Each structure stands twice: as C-alpha cells, then as structure tokens.
Amino acid sequence: MKRLGREHHIYVLDPKAAPAITIDSGEELLVETWDAFEGVRDPAVLEAKCLKGPATGPICVRDAEPGDALKVEFIRITPKDEAVHMVMPGRGFLEAEFTEGYPTVMALDGDWVVLPGGLRLPMVPSMGMVATTPTYPQVTATDSGPYGGDIDLKELVAGSAIYLPVFVPGGMLALGDCHAVVGDGAVAGTGAECSSEAHIRVTLEKGMALNSPRVVTPDYFVVLSHGEELGLAMKQAVRDMVDFLVKEKGLAPYDAYTLCSLAGDVRVSRTFRPISPVKMMLSRQALAQLA
C-alpha cells in the first residue's frame, strides 16, 4: 500500500499545483496528517505565525475529470501523539467573553482522551478537512464550499465515506485537521486537534455531477451546505436533502419535506466564520426503506 507522509503538506488548494502522489481509482492509501497547529502549543506563537492549517496532498486520481466525483472511504483513522484544544482571541461563539489564548493539552490513552484534571472522554476520531481542489486557489483552513474544505464534520469517522465533486483534472484531493473528539459547532474554537494516520480508499465516480458534498456514515446520510449567513445555509441544506429524496428516491415533494422533519437533523458543524458549513442529516434506517 502506498503511503503519503505529512511532509507533503499544503496550505492552499491550488489548481496549478503538482500532485504529491498519483493513484488509481479504488486504490487504498495511508495518509499522515499534522495537527492543526503543527505541534505549536503557545497561543502567542500561533497568533504571530498565523498558521493556516496544513492538509496533506494533493492526491491525483487518474482519469478524474470535471463532472465526476471522488468517493473517499475512511477505513481507519488513528490519532497520534497527543491532542490539544486552543481558545484563541477572536474565535469561538463567545469570543467577546473569552479573549485570552488558552491551550489544553490532552493525553491519548487507548480509546480515551484525557484532560489535565483526569476527566476522560471517549475518543471519536474524525477528519475535519477533506477537499478536492476548486478551479481557483483556496486556503485549506477556515472556509468550506462545494469542494468540501474545513467542514469539521464529527460524523466523518472510520466506516464513513464522503463524495466530493471534481473540478480540475485528477480531482487533487487533500485532507487533514484530525480531531480525537469534537462537539457540533466546536463552540470554543477547535476540537481536540491531533496528528493522525488515515487509511483511505479513493474511488472515481464517473459522471456523478454533484453540486455539493455528500457523506454516508454508519448512521446517517448527510448533505452539506455553506454560506455567509447561517440561516440561509441551513435552509439550503434542507432544500438539498428534499431535492435528493425527490429526484433520487422518488418521493413526492411534501412527503420528502415531512420525512426530513421527522427523521432528519440540521446542525452547525463549526464555529462561526466568514463561511459557515451546516449539515442536514437523515437517518439511514429511514432511508433504507425507500426504493
């Protein structure tokens, strides 16, 4: 199996960039990622360096062309070393009240994340940043869009798959920003950021023509939306799920809308930023009963 080390990290999704590695459709790959802070634990140093969140890549998939999609399956996600949460000035839901940098370094002990006072949280590793490359340069952190990006989807765990539209030849996939554990919204600014090794399988879906990312987790089918105004982004996520149920599952529009209200959830994935990602989640138990 091929391995892509974290020395091949980028800060910008650049359509003109050369691939770090080229793989075939259906190939499995081990990908190492940095933590979001690249090992730095001092908030003052982080603020001075303006670290932008490294992602490993880009990964070129042979024969991928605009109009296709990449299916990225996460077979295993293994956090490495330690995890850190960082309250940073100007970040988080309560940025006006919590104005000082405050790091919390946590040990990784088996299946547990251990806070300094001894409180133990179950480890639920997820990959926060997964993206294909758009037709324009885009930073790897802070924003999201139809290409994926810094989505902080805590449900993107081992056993999940994300489908991403292809915009440039090869798709030029990148991933990073692993969390040992994170809550919806990451309300204080980050998750338990950690370096990782991810075992993935990348499959080319010819002509899938997605408008935005989709995710299949062990429990949910998820559509992702984004926008500068959170309410509008949430409405679009619901609209996208209704459209999926109507066009691909054959439900009547009012029946699809009703099902979303009964078996779906709309949630904020990440702390408020200029572009906020939201997710509309539908129970796979309900979805499995549809044709």
At 277, is the secondary structure helix, strand, or coil? strand
* Domain residue spans of the chain: 2-208, 219-287
- Find out whether the peptide bond into 58 is cis, omega within 30 degrees of 0: yes
The CATH-assigned architecture of domain 2-208 is Sandwich (2.60)
The answer to whether the beta carbons of residues 182 and 192 sit under 8 Å apart is yes
Q: Which residues of 4-38 are buried (b: 16+ CB within 10 A; e: fewer)?
A: bebebbbeebbbebebbbebebebebbbbbbbbbb
Q: Which CATH fold would you assign to the domain 219-287? A: Endonuclease I-creI (3.10.28)
pLDDT of 189-243, one tens digit each? 899 999 999 999 999 999 999 999 999 999 999 999 988 888 899 999 999 999 9
**Residue 221 corresponds to which tokens in the numbers above?**
């089918």
Secondary element (H or E) of residue 115? none
pLDDT of 117-133, one tens digit each? 999 999 999 999 999 99
- What amino acid is encoded at 37 in this protein? F
**How high is the mean pLDDT of the chain?**
94
Res. 89 pLDDT band, cuts 50 70 90 = confident
The whole-number average pLDDT for the span 82-109 is 93
Q: How far is 209 from 260, CA to CA, in rounded Å?
A: 23
Phi and psi of 97, rounded to 5°? -100, -30
